[in-house]
Amino acid sequence: MNQNQTVASESLKFIITSLEARKHGYLPKEPIPKPLKCQFCQKTLYHRGLINPKSRVVWKWLPPERCNCKKAQEYWKKYDEEQERLMLERAKEEERERFKRRIKKLLGESGIKKRFLNRTFDNFEVDDLNLEAYEIAKTYARDFENYKENGEGLYFVGSFGTGKTHLAVAIALYLINKGVPVICKTLIDLLTDIKKTFDSSQISEHEVLNIYKTVDLLVIDDLGKEPPTDWAMATFYSILNDRYENCLPTIITTNYNDKELIERLSRKSDTKTAGAIVDRLHGTCSLVEMNWKSWRTIY
């Protein structure tokens, strides 16, 4: 018998039924509850009581014993499974709330700028060109838990003004409204947050990096606009790689194709880190191409 079984066995010594309490003369602190009937076989079911063996007092009544008939066993099996599911769901929600509080404490809000707070699916102007991208984004938001399970993100690539940022932000806003921790920023803003810790005694670089590496969804908008310093690219790759290894999804938007993006992210002629970044993006994200004329173009 292992330790847990021993503890469980010992605890049973301090529980008796109301029938046993009457029989052995235990004094209840509260009135003895009336026995119930099994809803399936009508067997009499007595309440259980916590006792103090030395004082022979029942100090608390517990729910009645469970019937051992087949239908009752099936019922309680389903009941226990549902209770466990609800408990895990509550624990998950509590963990998400704790994480959102950490984000707010370390970084402020999700990072979505005021101009983009109205970029929802409802006000995205759908046409023949962008319908597929719209459906992919909306499906991703709706089925996020399944995508998250596999660490699968989205990689929006296309020309200026085609709606990439709108769809990425729409996903972020949809999930934030569902209680999912999301960070949505440009890489420039992300790196700025990390740099701020260099002169801070309140927040460490590790704490901020850990937020970016472990948030449920990280959205990086407009990749390729940041100065490609060695530190910036190494830091970004570290974030992407940790998220890849821990199956956490990332969404990227960029105006550049692979070759152009590698050039934009490369330090001088060193394309190794930039190439690894682009390779990681293709390995973790589904490509969504949005190459058509900008809706901002004045005709």
DSSP secondary structure, 109-129, as one string:
S----GGGTT--STT----TT
Q: Is the pLDDT of residue 296 over 60?
A: no
* Rg of the chain (C-alpha set): 29
**Which of 44-48, 86-90, 166-170, 264-268 has the lowest average pLDDT?**
264-268
Residue 292: band (very low, low, confident or very high) from pLDDT cuts 50, 70, 90: confident
- pLDDT at 56 (0 to 100): 85
**How far apart are the C-alpha atoms of 68 and 56, rounded to whole Å?**
28
> Once rounded to an integer, what is the mean pLDDT over residues 64-72?
95
**How far apart are the C-alpha atoms of 231 and 160, rounded to whole Å?**
28
0.85 cut: is pTM over it?
no
> Once rounded to an integer, what is the mean pLDDT over residues 98-107?
69
124: Cα within 13 Å, side-chain hemisphere:
28
List pLDDT tens digits, range 167-197.
999 999 999 988 899 999 999 999 998 998 8
- pLDDT at 299 (0 to 100): 39
Give the residue extent of every domain in the chain. Answer: 3-64, 109-290
Q: Is the pLDDT of residue 119 over 80?
A: yes
> Once rounded to an integer, what is the mean pLDDT over residues 19-32?
89
Q: Please report where in the chains the tokens 């590790």 appear, as a residue.
A: 206
List pLDDT tens digits, range 217-260.
999 999 998 888 889 999 999 999 999 999 999 999 999 999 99
List pLDDT tens digits, range 133-171.
999 999 999 999 999 999 999 999 998 889 999 999 999
For the CA atoms of 169, 173, 174, 180, the dihedral, rounded to the nearest 10 degrees, stands at 120
Q: Is the pLDDT of residue 4 over 50?
A: no
What would be the CATH architecture of the domain defined by 109-290? 3-Layer(aba) Sandwich (3.40)
**Residue (of 296, 13, 3, 287) closest to 158 by Cα position:** 287
**Which of 42-46, 188-192, 199-203, 264-268 has the lowest average pLDDT?**
199-203
- pLDDT at 205 (0 to 100): 86
Q: Which run of H or E residues covers position 48?
A: strand 47-52
- pLDDT at 214 (0 to 100): 93
Mean pLDDT score of the chain = 87
- pLDDT at 294 (0 to 100): 63
